[in-house]
Amino acid sequence: MNKDIENKLQAKNIRQTAMRQLVLKVFTEEKTAVSLPELEEKIERADKATLYRTLKTFELNKLIHKIDDGSGTTKYALCEDTCTCSPHDLHVHFHCSKCDKTYCLNDIPVPLIKLPVGFSLDKVNMVVEGICINCKI
Amino acid sequence: MNKDIENKLQAKNIRQTAMRQLVLKVFTEEKTAVSLPELEEKIERADKATLYRTLKTFELNKLIHKIDDGSGTTKYALCEDTCTCSPHDLHVHFHCSKCDKTYCLNDIPVPLIKLPVGFSLDKVNMVVEGICINCKI
DNA sequence: GTTCTTGCAAAATATTTGCAAGACG
DNA sequence: CGTCTTGCAAATATTTTGCAAGAAC
């Protein structure tokens, strides 16, 4: 219930507000990644600026992670409970070029890359583009 | 010389224009990926719309490839001569979070991913984020 | 009561499109 | 000369910022 949402926020030391609870609720109900325009649709009377700031706060506190799926609109998805957002527990994302939905492939970790000498690794964004199971004929 | 540029355009069946030759020249001279704002800086009297259309044409004809490095601005880099832009010859990109430069790691192919059943693969965007060799202390 | 968050407005940035004039082949 | 490209203007989309009023703890 709502208790669950409140707990999740508290666990990450994020101040409780109605807007944040609503946004987090949307994330828990969605199976695919969420973009800002989608949030605007689902949440009445929501201000863009507030939503962007809410997402930034959530990302900073590792409640959600950012996905750059190449669609031109940044999407976000819930982190798994154990996620530290370090390169070790990053997973591959899938972007459907037909329905524009983006999936977290939580079971597929991003392969480790051996960088050239002198380059240091911080994080990895790996997006596979194709047709998803719901769009294939 | 310019002959080289003209040949590259002709090889891809792209009509010769002064603007296209200038844009392609910038690409051949750059070791890192190029964004539209950078093109505007380097080419006097260049119109944004023309540049965007030029990039689109080049991309369509597999002269350059698009890189979504998460910086908010799309970048492009020259394809290798043998590149078909199929998943097989895609390589990993590196984005430096300090200087914002993006490198093609041509020697590092994107690892092949086994997708869940029902998902088809078209292409892959893999960007490693970190500090590049020129920015490390 | 101090600090953080919201809502509104406005700006900054990125990208796309229509159209008439001009260049390419 | 028919088709493609350019330049200009304007529209659309995305994201960020300032600031005063209000809410959280």
| CATH number of B33's domain | 1.10.10.10
* CA A122/CA B34 separation, integer angstroms: 22
| Cβ pair B132, B103 in contact under 8 A | yes
**pLDDT: which is higher, A88 or A122:** A122
Chain A contact for B62 (CB, 8 A cutoff): no
How high is the pLDDT of residue B19? 97
Residues of B in contact with A113 (CB under 8 A): 92, 105, 108, 111, 126, 128
Nearest CA in chain B to A67: B70
Q: How far is the CA of B33 from the C1' of C5 (A)?
A: 39
Q: How far apart are CA B21 and CA B111, in angstroms?
A: 34
Residue A27's SS3 state is helix
- pLDDT per residue as tens digits for the range A22-59: 999 999 999 999 999 999 999 988 999 999 999 999 99
pLDDT of B75: 97
Percent of chain A with pLDDT over 90: 88
- State the average pLDDT for chain B: 94
Shortest Cα–Cα distance, B92 to chain A (Å): 9
Query: Would you give the end-to-end CA distance of chain B in angstroms?
Result: 37
pTM of the model: 0.93
Please name the residue that has the structure tokens 């994330």.
Answer: A27
Instruction: Grade residue A1 by pLDDT with cuts at 50, 70 and 90.
Output: low
> Which of A14-18, A106-110, B85-89, B120-124 is the least confident region?
B85-89
Percent of chain B scoring above 90 in pLDDT: 87
Residue window 88-107, chain A: list those with CB within 8 Å of chain B. 92, 94, 97, 105
Count up the domains in chain A and report the number: 1
Task: Give the range of the structural domain holding residue B106, as residue numbers without chain letter.
Answer: 3-136
Nucleotides of D under 7 A from a protein CB: 4-10, 13-18, 23-25
pLDDT tens track for B53-92: 999 999 999 999 999 999 999 999 999 988 888 887 899 9
pLDDT of B28 reads 96
**B50/C21 CA-to-C1' distance in Å:** 15
pLDDT at A135 over 80: yes
Q: pLDDT exceeding 70 applies to what percent of chain A?
A: 99
Stretch A105-115: mean pLDDT: 95
**Nearest-angstrom CA–CA distance, A95 and A113:** 22
A124 or B2, higher pLDDT = A124
Distance between CA atoms of residues A105 and B82, nearest Å = 31
**Is pLDDT of B44 > 90?**
no
Percent of chain B with pLDDT over 70: 99
